[in-house]
A and B are shown apart, each in its own frame.
Chain A
Amino acid sequence: MPAKATGAGAMSSSATIEVPAPRRSVIPGGTLYRGNEGMWSWVLHRITGVAIYFFLLVHILDTALVRVSPEAYNAVIGAYKTPIMGLGEVALVGAIGFHALNGLRIILIDFWGVGTRHQKAMFYIVLVVWLVLMIGFTPRHLMNVFGG
């Protein structure tokens, strides 16, 4: 770029140059996707999505055992009733709940006229609704798993 090249020539010919102080590094504005709520909702949506996908593969295969024999199905479903898997089911339901609620948020960002303007607020609404659902589900589920 010619402007830069002549600028470099001018710098060598004069002794002092006023240079504005460099601006503090800030996360660029005007983006939904970098930093803060927009980015973290995206990261969580990906991670929960991949986790749910791999569970779905296993879940289709274990349910397919109903076609083999009652004994085969009961053996594999017994694994879902152990304490460790019981805690895993809390994580699974939590992942599904976040992915579902944040998915609805994404749809509102895409189709609701003022969706982008409210994306941060909607992220916190997602977190609050998710927390309410998990408070409703987790104690009851843990009683079913650990209550005998």
Chain B
Amino acid sequence: MTSNIALDAPRSPSARTKRGVNWEKWGWIYMRVSGVALVALIFGHLFVNLFLGDGVSQIDFAFVAGKLSDPFWQWYDFFLLWLALIHGTNGMRTIINDYVATASVRRILQGALLSSTVVLLVLGTLVIFTFDPCPAGADPELVASFCADIL
């Protein structure tokens, strides 16, 4: 007994034939490079804010103002914001691609993800660099002690 079964030709080798930038490769590299930087940056962030001094109970407007009036912490928080949010966004993009099979739903979720990331990056960057540690008319009890010399 013989049977004729039509088989598809073997798949062509999975060599990359598309031209242009390999964004998936750069995304993969970004996760590892930013990951190493974030281990150091977030460890420092948690150490200064949650471990040194009185930990979480020391955090208030004056504490943040004291940090953000120093260019070192402005740039520290700037890199923390951009590296972490893009790292998290790329991770969520991977998860959406893994679990959402419907193309239209996937596009909607990816669009929502991208727009929330852009909004938060712009908002966070503006907050870091336009922040006034001693706002005019603020309650002197609530602002940093150095504001007494300015107000």
A63's contact among B55, B64, B138, by CB below 8 Å, is which?
A: B64
- Which single residue of chain A is at the shortest CB-CB distance from B61? A70
Contacting pair A70 B81 (CB below 8 A): no
- A144 interface neighbour in B2, B35, B57, B91, Cβ under 8 Å: B57
Q: Is A53 an interface residue (CB 8 A)?
A: yes
**Chain B 1-19 interface 0/1 with A at a Cβ cutoff of 8 Å (1 = within):** 1110100000000000000
Contact B131 A67 (CB under 8 A): yes
B113 and chain A: residue at smallest CB distance: A53
Cα of A15 to Cα of B125 in the assembled complex, Å? 80
- The segment out of A19-27, A99-107, A116-124 that lies at the interface is A99-107
In the complex, which residues of chain A have a beta carbon less than 8 angstroms from the beta carbon of B44?
Answer: none
Known: A52-B88, A66-B68. A71 touches B139 (CB 8 A): yes
- In the complex, which residues of chain B have a beta carbon less than 8 angstroms from the beta carbon of A2? 2-3, 5
Q: Are A64 and B2 in contact (CB under 8 A)?
A: no
B107 at the interface (CB under 8 A from A): no
New A-B pairs, 13, CB < 8 Å, besides A53-B88, A73-B60, A81-B57:
A2-B2, A5-B1, A5-B3, A52-B88, A64-B123, A66-B127, A67-B131, A70-B62, A96-B42, A107-B32, A140-B55, A141-B51, A144-B57
Q: A73-B61, A104-B39 are in contact. Are A56 and B2 (CB under 8 A)?
A: no
- Fill in one digit per residue for B116-131: 1 if any A CB lies within 8 Å of its CB, else 0: 1000100110110011
Q: Tell me whether A36 is interfacial, beta carbon within 8 Å.
A: no
Tell me the number of A-to-B contacts counted with CB atoms below 8 Å.
Answer: 114
Choose among A9, A61, A103 the residue that contacts B1 (Cβ–Cβ < 8 A): A9
Compute how far the CA of A139 lies from the CA of B98 in the bound complex, rounded to whole angstroms.
Answer: 38
Q: Is the CB of B84 within 8 A of A56?
A: yes
Count of chain A residues near B, Cβ 8 A: 42
CA distance A56 to B56 in the complex (A): 17
Question: Could you tell me if B42 and A100 are in contact, using CB atoms closer than 8 angstroms?
Answer: yes
Assuming A53-B88, A69-B135, is B127 touching A64 (CB within 8 A)?
Answer: yes
Instruction: Please measure, in the bound complex, the distance between the C-alpha atom of A51 and the C-alpha atom of B131, giving whole angstroms.
Output: 28
Instruction: Fill in one digit per residue for B86-109: 1 if any A CB lies within 8 Å of its CB, else 0.
Output: 001101100100000000000000
The smallest beta-carbon distance between A58 and chain B, in angstroms, is 10
Interface centre among A5, A64, A66, A77 (most CB of B within 10 A): A66
